[in-house]
Each structure stands twice: as C-alpha cells, then as structure tokens.
C-alpha cells in the first residue's frame, strides 16, 4: 500500500522520498492492472484486509523500484552467484578491493521482502567505501519460511565462508532494518554454538524489537506511516510464527549482548524504529560492548539508500568505511 510522504521532512529529503513514492504508485498501478488481467479486482480496501495480496504487492513494488534503479552500480563491479551450504549468496566485488576481507551482508525487508538481485546497492556502497568485497546472503523469507529459517541460513552461509579459509577476524557483518536485527541474532547464535565471531558489526536502522515496544513507534508515526506499529506487527507475527516475539534470536534487543564485537549503529531521529537502535546501544554499552551510535538529524529509515541524493547518505557510507577500515588494519 502506498502512503503519503510527511510534509514535516526537510525539503530535499521530502523530494527524494516523494520520488520513491511516485515509483511505488506506478508499480501499484501496474500491479492492479496485472491482477485484473488475471481476473482479480483489487482496491484499497482489499489491501487492508487481504494480507497475501498486500505482501504480493509489496514484493512487486520492491522488484519494480529495483529495476528502475538497476544502473546505479558500475559495470566494472563483478557479481558471482554462490551456493553457500545450500543458501543462495553472491559475491560483489568492486575493482581494487581486498578479497581476503569480507563484508557479510544481510539485507532488509521486514523478513518478507528482498532478493539478492534487488538488494545489491547498500552492500556495494559499503564494499567500495571500506575496500573489501561483499558477500550478500539470500536468506529465506516469511511467511513461507518463518523463524528460524532466516537465522539458519545466515549461520549456514557464515560457516561456508569460514570453510573457504576466510578468517573470522577478517569478516564484518552488516545489515539494514530486519537484516540489522538478523545480524545481531546471528552473532548471538554464533556465540551459542562456539563459532568465532567477526571483527565487527555495522547496523543500519536495525529492527531489534519485534515486540514493538520503542517509544519512537508512537512519537514518529506521523513521519513514517508506512512503518506503523500495525504494519510492522503483521510482519513480525509472520516471521516469529509459533515463537514468542521477545525470543532473543528474533528480537536481539532482549538478548545477552556481552562479548559481542564492536558495533557501529546508524539511525534517523525521525524514524519509527529509532529506539530499536538507541536501546540496543544502551544495553550493549551496559555489558561492555564497544558501541558507536549515530542518530542522524532529519533522516528516515535506512537513509543510506538515498546515496547520491541526500548529503548525509554519502557521509554515512564514508563513516561506515572508516569504521570498518579501522577494525581490519
């Protein structure tokens, strides 16, 4: 479902988000026409009551917008599909990066959207900024594959990476939104099964509390109505399945974070999930984790995706590169 962009955003941010919203509206119109040809009439009320149709639409929009922006990554970048212990993955290798140092990347999409082909932009940007190649993991999605499928895939892919001779001390794990929460859950599971932890973790607007208890869910609702408590609650239920949403491997905010590697966390101050970052940083600091939390003024959820359009997006990617380079010297 397409929602209006808040008028309270800074003018340049609002312009970029309205462009994205326009693309989503174009995709929605095309989707409605497609379903009509299939004999299925859809209106706004259908999207409010039919969860499966709404999910199909959101996935359609995701692919449509990605195709619109497919030329962002230079042709000099190499892509190589990999079977990582049964998990689809992809090497993303910009020219001149170090191939023995790896960005292990878990994409966002509320655990029910996203593919390797539609989620290349951020791992490419971080890879280029930090001078190490990216390993993009195509974990399974809910509701077809609820928890623990995504976590199982992340662990299997990480084990495969270690089996190739890549050392844990040369790996950075990173993720955006749901991929950020999955990154922390992966660390907790790696520690549980006594596998070596990576050198650090980068989290972009991580979704760490699927119980949705952060105050920013309410305080910033007018800025991001598309990431409302109702919408996120539906996807949280589809992912958690029969498990409690406060399970630390589903909502790592409630886990024991002691002993985790250095963290860099980015969030926007007006996003509904802001407090998932703030509370995670606070809990991690309490148990001695080296945490750098940066809450960016006037920035929405995963604002780094607007690289080249909003100055802060480029600045954030540069800071991420500096953080990673400092850890992997």
Give the C-alpha separation, 14 to 300, whole Å: 10
SS3 93: strand
Q: What whole-number distance in Å separates Cα of residue 282 and Cα of residue 203?
A: 14
Q: Which residues are CB-neighbours of 89 under 8 A, at least 6 positions away?
A: 81, 82, 83, 116, 135, 136, 137, 138, 157, 160
Scored b (16 or more CB within 10 A) or e, 182-207 reads bbbbbbbbbbeeeeebbbbbbbbbbb
Choice among 66, 177, 216, 277 that is catalytic: 177
Active site residue 294: no
**Residue tagged active-site, from 271, 277, 312, 313:** 271
Strand partners, 268: 296
Tell me whether residue 177 is one of the annotated catalytic residues. Answer: yes
Of these residues, 128, 301, 312, 313, which one is catalytic?
301
- Is 271 assigned a catalytic role? yes
Distances (CA, A) of 294 to 68, 154, 290: 30, 26, 13
Output phi, psi for 118, to 5 deg. -100, 0
DSSP for 254-309? GS--TTPPPEEEEEETTSTTHHHHHHHHHHHHHTT--EEEEEETT--TTGGGGTTT
Residue numbers annotated as active site: 177, 271, 301
């Amino acid at each position: 479902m397409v929602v209006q962009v808040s008028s309270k955003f800074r003018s340049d941010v609002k312009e970029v988000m309205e462009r994205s919203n326009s693309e989503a509206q174009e995709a929605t119109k095309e989707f409605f026409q497609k379903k009509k040809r299939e004999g299925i009439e859809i209106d706004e009320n259908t999207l409010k009551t039919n969860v499966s149709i709404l999910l199909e639409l959101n996935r359609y929009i995701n692919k449509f917008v990605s195709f619109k922006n497919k030329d962002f990554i230079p042709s000099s970048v190499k892509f190589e599909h990999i079977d990582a212990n049964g998990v689809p993955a992809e090497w993303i290798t910009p020219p001149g990066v170090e191939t023995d140092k790896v960005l292990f990347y878990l994409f966002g999409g509320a655990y029910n959207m996203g593919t390797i082909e539609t989620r290349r932009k951020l791992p490419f940007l971080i890879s280029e900024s930090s001078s190490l190649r990216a390993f993009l993991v195509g974990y399974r999605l809910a509701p077809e594959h609820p928890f623990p499928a995504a976590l199982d895939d992340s662990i299997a892919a990480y084990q495969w990476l270690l089996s190739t001779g890549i050392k844990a001390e040369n790996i950075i794990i990173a993720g955006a939104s749901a991929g950020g929460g999955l990154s922390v859950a992966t660390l907790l599971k790696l520690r549980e099964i006594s596998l070596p932890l990576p050198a650090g973790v980068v989290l972009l607007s991580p979704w760490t509390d699927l119980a949705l208890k952060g105050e920013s869910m309410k305080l910033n609702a007018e800025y991001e109505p598309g990431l409302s408590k109702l919408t996120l609650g539906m996807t949280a239920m589809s992912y958690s399945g029969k498990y409690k949403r406060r399970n630390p491997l589903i909502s790592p905010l409630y886990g024991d974070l002691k002993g985790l590697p250095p963290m860099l966390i980015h969030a926007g101050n007006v996003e509904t999930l802001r407090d998932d970052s703030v509370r995670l940083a606070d809990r991690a600091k309490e148990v001695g984790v080296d945490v750098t939390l940066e809450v960016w003024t006037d920035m929405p959820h995963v604002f780094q995706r607007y690289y080249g359009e909003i100055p802060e997006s480029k600045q954030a990617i540069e800071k991420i590169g500096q953080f990673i380079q400092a850890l992997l010297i």
